[in-house]
């Protein structure tokens, strides 16, 4: 009996060791599993219904400025000061007020749908009048309203400014924009949005990538993870998700598992051109058929001058002014270069081989698109 018991203990210990080794192997395999560099998490390319922010806005006054506030031409600032003082029991004539230490501002904030009364949010303060700087100012209590006209938060506090502006009679200096500031935790929520996240029967996912392939990839990933046909695509970027019974009223665990799914977004091949700055951005899927390209610059320099002809001494001649034009023409002689790009790296190497600058690339890309050799959508911004 004692030997049989010992054998059972040894077998149980061996089974436990095998299970531990198996679990460790799975964990190590998961950790060391290579991650696709092009993959993105679902929560980075999609938004979920009910998970959003609400815009708030209000009008307020900044006080305590060192003479950099609104001038007397900002009549609305003086009227606001007079109204505020009258509410506090102080009689004031708007025409006699000097608002150089006060500035009228617009206060904006983003309130998450999950914000509850008593929680704090950041606010942004922007000058409305002709104030030179909001440095050192304090925002007086300001109600923040939503689009429905109801007050959802109240803001107040000292500003933080990311710049400065100083000036003298002969010189001035400025860094960043001193007429916009921010108050961390500068508003307190007074009313929450009447929305219950867990009361939803279905979830709508809106993808930022408008692509049928990406949409179906998300649908298949969600259904494979949940073990059923719960997700379905409604259009090119909208997915509806039916909630399983076990997650009704308790959606947070489900959303926590779905939002970390790895998706490889796809889309149209696109070339973005910004002519203002000479910036050219090539997408990964841009392809180029075999084509020969020659690109050179023609420079023509024209300079005008005048040649003055003076008459001889004691002669009856007159001074004559003759125009002189100097003309110089310089043209770069560049040979045809064969280009073909099956990958983005090959395309970049081909464009670099002809010595094209970013400004030149804009002309080359347009010509390639007209020739039908550039297989991508060209968008000028």
Domains of the chain with bracketed CATH: 53-189 (no CATH), 196-263 (3.30.1370), 270-380 (no CATH)
Instruction: Name which of 304, 310, 223 is nearest 261 in CA terms.
Output: 223
CB 360 within 8 A of CB 298: no
**Which tokens hold the place of 378?**
């060209």
The Cα 199–Cα 191 span in angstroms is 20
For residue 78, give every residue at least 6 positions away whose Cβ sits within 8 Å of its Cβ, in sequence order, or none: 72, 94, 95, 97, 99
Q: Are 78 and 72 in contact (CB under 8 A)?
A: yes
| pLDDT values of the chain reduced to their tens digit, one per residue, 381 residues | 445 545 554 555 454 443 443 333 434 443 444 555 568 899 898 988 888 889 999 999 999 998 888 887 888 888 888 888 888 888 888 777 888 899 999 999 999 988 999 999 999 999 998 898 999 899 999 999 999 999 999 999 999 988 767 766 666 777 778 899 999 999 999 998 888 888 888 889 999 888 899 999 999 999 998 888 999 999 999 999 998 888 888 888 888 888 889 998 887 888 888 877 778 888 778 887 777 776 665 444 556 677 777 777 766 667 777 777 665 655 555 554 555 665 666 767 766 776 667 777 777 788 888 888 888 888 888
**Of 195, 115, 127, 111, residue with least CA distance to 165:** 127
Classify residue 227 by its DSSP letter. Answer: T
Q: CA neighbours within 13 Å on the CB side: how many for 189?
A: 18
Taking phi first (over 0 means left), then psi (-120 to 50 degrees means alpha), and beta for anything else, what does residue 149 get? left
In the three-class reduction of DSSP (H, G, I as helix; E, B as strand; rest coil), residue 307 is classed as strand
Query: How many angstroms separate the Cα of 194 from the Cα of each of 37, 69, 150, 151, 199?
Result: 40, 39, 13, 14, 12
Identify the pLDDT of residue 343: 64
Structure tokens at 120: 């704090």
Conformational region of residue 185, where left means phi above 0, alpha means psi within -120 to 50, and beta covers everything else: left
Q: Cα 220 from chain centroid?
A: 29
The 8-class DSSP code of residue 92 comes to -
The per-residue pLDDT for 13 is: 47
**3-class DSSP state for residue 88?**
coil
């Amino acid at each position: 009996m004692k030997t049989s018991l010992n054998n059972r203990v040894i077998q149980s210990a061996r089974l436990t060791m095998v299970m531990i080794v198996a679990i460790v192997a799975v964990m190590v395999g998961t950790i060391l599993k290579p991650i696709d560099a092009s993959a993105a998490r679902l929560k980075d390319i999609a938004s979920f219904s009910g998970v959003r922010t609400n815009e708030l806005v209000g009008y307020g006054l900044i006080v305590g400025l060192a003479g950099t506030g609104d001038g007397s031409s900002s009549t609305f600032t003086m009227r606001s000061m007079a109204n505020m003082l009258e509410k506090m029991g102080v009689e004031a004539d708007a025409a006699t007020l000097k608002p150089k230490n006060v500035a009228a501002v617009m206060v904006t904030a983003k309130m998450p749908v999950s914000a509850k009364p008593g929680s704090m949010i950041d606010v942004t303060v922007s000058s409305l009048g002709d104030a030179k700087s909001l440095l050192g100012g304090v925002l007086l209590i300001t109600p923040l309203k939503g689009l429905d006209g109801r007050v959802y938060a109240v803001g107040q506090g000292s500003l933080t400014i990311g710049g400065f502006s100083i000036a003298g009679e002969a010189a001035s200096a400025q860094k960043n924009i001193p007429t916009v500031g921010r108050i961390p935790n500068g508003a307190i929520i007074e009313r929450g949005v009447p929305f219950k996240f867990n009361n939803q029967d279905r979830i709508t996912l809106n993808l930022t990538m408008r692509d049928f392939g990406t949409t179906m990839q998300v649908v298949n990933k969600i259904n494979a993870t949940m073990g059923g046909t719960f997700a379905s695509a409604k259009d090119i970027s909208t997915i509806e998700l039916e909630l399983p019974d076990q997650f009704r009223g308790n959606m947070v665990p489900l959303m926590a598992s779905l939002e970390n799914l790895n998706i490889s977004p796809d889309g149209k091949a696109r070339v973005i051109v910004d002519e203002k700055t000479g910036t050219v951005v090539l997408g990964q899927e841009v392809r180029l058929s075999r084509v020969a390209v020659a690109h050179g610059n023609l420079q023509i320099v024209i300079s005008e001058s005048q040649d003055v002809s003076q008459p001889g001494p004691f002669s009856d001649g007159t001074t004559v002014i003759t125009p002189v034009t100097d003309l110089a023409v310089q043209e770069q002689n560049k040979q045809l270069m064969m280009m073909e790009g099956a990958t983005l790296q090959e395309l970049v190497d081909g464009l670099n081989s002809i010595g094209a600058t970013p400004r030149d690339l804009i002309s080359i890309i347009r010509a390639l698109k007209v020739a039908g050799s550039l297989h991508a959508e060209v968008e000028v911004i």
